[in-house]
């Protein structure tokens, strides 16, 4: 790995350029995977974007190696990409119509997607249902490994009644956690944030998760309560991004793979989060086994696990920033010590700031 050992806790407040500057580089970017069919309007409204095989394989590679006879869940399984990758890895040791006994289990709210997943991975038990339904935990049980790609939907587009329902479900999942923070996650963040907390509830203590979510979860208004809650029940082991690739052609988001481990006991010691920016293709990194091997294909930074506000800037900052930071030493101070910083505005003009490969 050409990773530096820089482990700064105060990354640059001005990271790499805003998405609008990606227009020129996107035009030079080869399509790394076979093109998926365009998402239907109904799928787009639900934030459903099916996952390319290398991305699913990378998630499993980040969690490897596995013990024998693990149970695997994809709580938002779509057409079964993650379950197919798990099956090809040899994790389908036990098939059953009973969710509590089956090695591979998937859940999805879309009936067509459920049919595709059942056809694609007949060894898996696919349940038609909502990942955030109150009864799901009792219905499917808990798992050693949880993988998946939760939906991408802006929080502002969600029905307030649905938000309240999801807040109640999270409060039932985690009665020991702060009620106001759970409510903030359900109200202010996109559904993927709630899916992370539900996925953790579906994971056995000591179990591991790898979820593909938007990098916006590092910076959104609900970021602080989300990661504060996660810290109570899990370790964030690593965050992986592919700066030279777009994992989803139709989704106007920047994606990351977040790797977590559910704590066996509350309050266990946390250290650092590994932040990996892939230099090799996702497909190449996905052939490895474990985070250390994947890191050999990445520029690695580290950030304190207890300071999630530093993860996004540290992940986005280019390598030149770290060299400059090392040279500046104590002369470098955070911008907040020199000026008052306020948030700007959100335009919502995705057509301006994101371009598809067809338009590039």
In-domain check, residue 5 = no
DSSP label at residue 268 = -
In-domain check, residue 360 = no
pLDDT of residue 344: 83
Rounded CA gap, 258 and 268, in Å? 19
CB atoms within 10 A of CB 16: 16
Residue 78: domain span = 19-353
pLDDT of residue 33: 46
Helix (H, G, I), strand (E, B) or coil at 16: coil
Pairing of strands 234-241, 272-278: parallel
In-domain check, residue 160 = yes
In-domain check, residue 7 = no
In-domain check, residue 155 = yes
In contact, 71 and 89? CB cutoff 8 Å: no
* Domains of the chain: total: 1
In-domain check, residue 140 = yes
In-domain check, residue 238 = yes
In contact, 83 and 103? CB cutoff 8 Å: no
List Cβ neighbours of 235 (8 Å cut-off, separation of 6 or more): 260, 261, 263, 268, 270, 305
CA nearest neighbour of 144 among 104, 180, 197, 84: 104
pLDDT of residue 360: 62
Rounded CA gap, 216 and 256, in Å? 9
In-domain check, residue 195 = yes
List Cβ neighbours of 177 (8 Å cut-off, separation of 6 or more): 229, 232, 233
Rounded CA gap, 265 and 183, in Å? 24
The CATH number given to whatever domain includes residue 124 is 3.40.50.150
Burial of 1 (0-12, 13-18, 19+ CB in 10 A): middle
Task: Please tell me the pTM assigned to this model.
Answer: 0.77
List Cβ neighbours of 108 (8 Å cut-off, separation of 6 or more): 76, 77, 78, 114, 117, 126, 127, 128, 129
User: 10-residue block means of pLDDT along the chain (360 residues)?
Assistant: 37 36 37 46 52 90 90 92 90 58 87 93 91 87 93 64 83 91 84 92 95 90 90 94 83 84 72 93 94 96 91 88 85 87 81 71
């Amino acid at each position: 790995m050409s990773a530096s050992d820089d482990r700064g806790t105060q990354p640059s407040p001005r990271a790499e350029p805003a998405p609008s500057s990606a227009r020129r580089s996107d035009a030079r970017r080869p399509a790394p995977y076979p093109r998926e069919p365009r998402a239907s309007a109904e799928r787009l409204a639900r934030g459903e974007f099916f996952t390319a095989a290398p991305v699913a394989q990378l998630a499993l590679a980040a969690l490897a190696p596995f013990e024998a006879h693990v149970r695997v869940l994809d709580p938002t399984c779509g057409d079964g990409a993650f379950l197919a990758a798990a099956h090809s890895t040899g994790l389908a040791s036990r098939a059953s119509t009973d969710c509590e006994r089956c090695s591979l289990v998937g859940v999805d709210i879309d009936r067509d997607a459920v049919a595709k997943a059942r056809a694609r991975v007949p060894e898996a038990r696919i349940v038609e249902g909502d990942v955030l339904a109150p009864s799901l935990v009792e219905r499917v049980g808990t798992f050693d490994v949880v993988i998946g790609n939760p939906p991408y939907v802006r929080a502002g587009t969600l029905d307030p009644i649905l938000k309240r329902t999801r807040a109640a479900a999270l409060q039932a999942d985690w009665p020991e956690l702060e009620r106001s923070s759970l409510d903030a996650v359900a109200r202010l963040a996109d559904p993927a944030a709630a899916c992370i907390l539900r996925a953790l509830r579906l994971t056995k203590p000591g179990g591991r998760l790898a979820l593909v979510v938007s990098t916006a979860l590092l910076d959104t208004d609900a970021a602080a309560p989300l990661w504060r809650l996660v810290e109570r029940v899990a370790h964030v082991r690593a965050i992986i991004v592919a700066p030279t690739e777009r994992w989803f052609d139709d989704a106007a988001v920047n994606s990351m793979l977040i790797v977590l481990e559910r704590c066996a006991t509350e309050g266990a010691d946390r250290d650092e989060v590994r932040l990996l920016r892939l230099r090799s293709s996702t497909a190449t990194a996905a052939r490895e086994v474990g985070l250390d091997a994947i890191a050999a294909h990445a520029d690695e930074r580290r950030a304190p696990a207890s300071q999630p506000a530093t993860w996004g800037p540290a992940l986005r900052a280019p390598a030149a920033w770290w060299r400059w930071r090392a040279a500046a030493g104590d002369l470098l101070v955070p911008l907040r010590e020199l000026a008052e910083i306020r948030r700007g505005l959100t335009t919502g003009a995705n057509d301006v700031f994101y371009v598809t490969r067809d338009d590039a």
